[in-house]
Amino acid sequence: MALTAHLSCLLVLVVAGPAQGLKDALRSQDPGPQPMGLKEVFTLFQIQYNRSYSNPAEHARRLDIFAQNLAKAQRLQEEDLGTAEFGVTPFSDLTEEEFGQLHGHHWGAGKAPSMGIKVGSEESGETVPQSCDWRKKPGVISAIKHQKDCNCCWAMAAVDNVEAQWAIKYHQAVQLSVQQVLDCDRCGNGCNGGFVWDAFLTVLNTSGLASEQDYPYKGTVKTHRCLAKQHRKVAWIQDFLMLQFCEQSIARYLATEGPITVTINAGLLQQYKRGVIRATPATCDPHLVNHSVLLVGFGKSKSVEGRRPRPGHSIPYWILKNSWGPDWGEEGYFRLHRGSNTCGITKYPVTARVDKPVKKHQISCPP
């Protein structure tokens, strides 16, 4: 963690360049630590995230990409209207295209199926609490998952959703199989992307989900390798629904029914470190959504001195669970501004409804 903090502190100095570093040194007359060069910062990045490259040419190429990403992070820092901090992340040596291929849907925006989805009809008279955080309820939110090189955020978000809904309804914590969804899916595209409704349809088609322990995650997909019938199911869903495209309605459902999935534009997350992202449509297009995550709560945060809006004004935010491991963001989570449809959070608010299968009573005709 100390190395992470060190990289963050160096970001502005590296982007500003040697000239600015010299000016600051002369102004302060402080003989303390001098700004590190780009190559030194890149070496620290390689150590922290265990990066190595096949040859000197590839190393030079990644160094150039790293420098471009640092400059972009600094620009995002200046443009953000919330409290977000951008800087060195596990993805700082990837181009924007490479990042999108690994961590976006990577294929054309799909349309939600007309069957099996209902528009939420929550009571408008119910009040929405000031804050809500399902992470504080023991057993509801499972540990942060890590999709690694498999582009399966859609499956992980859906499984996270079922785990949370099951724990709330039946007071039973479960860890469910993402690999089953990938192996048995017929609608999505495995490790090349999909949508949460593809995952829910798969759960319905395979009559429930096995446990993660019995059917563990491998991060690869083999065609015609669905092993769902070989494992005992431990959780089931009855259907899934689409909520109203309104942040107030989403907050009400989240507070009263539990976590849901949302699909957002993930472009800013490549450089994200912590804080509340409040982006404009120009920097995070709400129509171009490409990454599914679990919405687990909401609240308000104080603004930061020197940032917009002016200090003292609270900033409402959403809390979202990502699937990039606990070393990314705020221990695997991130926050988006609430009330401005930041990064398209209202486009696809979808949740499963869990239920145990109904046992059919055997009926026989009297002789």
pLDDT average, residue stretch 130-151: 96
pLDDT average, residue stretch 29-44: 74
| Cβ neighbour number for residue 74 with a 10 Å cutoff | 18
Q: Which fold has domain 106-354?
A: Cathepsin B; Chain A (3.90.70)
The mean pLDDT value of the chain amounts to 86
Active-site residue, from 291, 337, 341, 343: 291
pLDDT average, residue stretch 222-241: 92
Residue 11 has pLDDT above 60, yes or no: no
The pTM of the full predicted model, rounded to 2 decimals, is 0.85
Residue 18 has pLDDT above 70, yes or no: no
Residue with tokens 């926050």: 335
* CA dihedral (157, 161, 162, 167) positive or negative: positive
Residue 56 has pLDDT above 80, yes or no: yes
Residue 78 has pLDDT above 60, yes or no: yes
Q: Residue 225: its pLDDT value, please?
A: 87
Least confident of 99-103, 182-186, 194-198, 361-365: 361-365
pLDDT in tens, 156-168: 999 999 999 999 9
More reliable by pLDDT, 295 or 310: 295
Q: Residue 360: its pLDDT value, please?
A: 64
Q: How confident is the model at residue 362 (pLDDT cuts 50, 70, 90)?
A: low
CA 108: distance to chain centroid? Answer: 19
Q: Residue 359: its pLDDT value, please?
A: 72
Q: What is the rounded distance in angstroms from the CA atom of residue 156 to the CA atom of residue 261?
A: 10
Q: Active site includes 365?
A: no
Q: What is the rounded distance in angstroms from the CA atom of residue 265 to the CA atom of residue 242?
A: 18
Q: How confident is the model at residue 367 (pLDDT cuts 50, 70, 90)?
A: confident
Q: Active site includes 205?
A: no
pLDDT over 70, % of the chain = 80
Contacts of 228 (CB under 8 A, 6+ apart): 180, 183, 184, 206, 207, 210, 215
CA 44: distance to chain centroid? Answer: 26
Active-site residue, from 322, 337, 341, 343: 322
Q: Active site includes 322?
A: yes
Task: Compute CA distances 286 → 9, 17, 267, 283, whole Å.
Answer: 31, 34, 11, 9
pLDDT in tens, 174-209: 999 999 999 998 876 889 889 999 999 999 999 999
Q: How confident is the model at residue 310 (pLDDT cuts 50, 70, 90)?
A: low
Residue 286 has pLDDT above 50, yes or no: yes
Residue 6 has pLDDT above 60, yes or no: no
pLDDT average, residue stretch 316-322: 98
Q: Residue 112: its pLDDT value, please?
A: 62
- In the chain, where the domains are located: 2-86, 106-354
Active-site residue, from 153, 184, 284, 343: 153
More reliable by pLDDT, 37 or 58: 58
Q: How confident is the model at residue 32 (pLDDT cuts 50, 70, 90)?
A: low
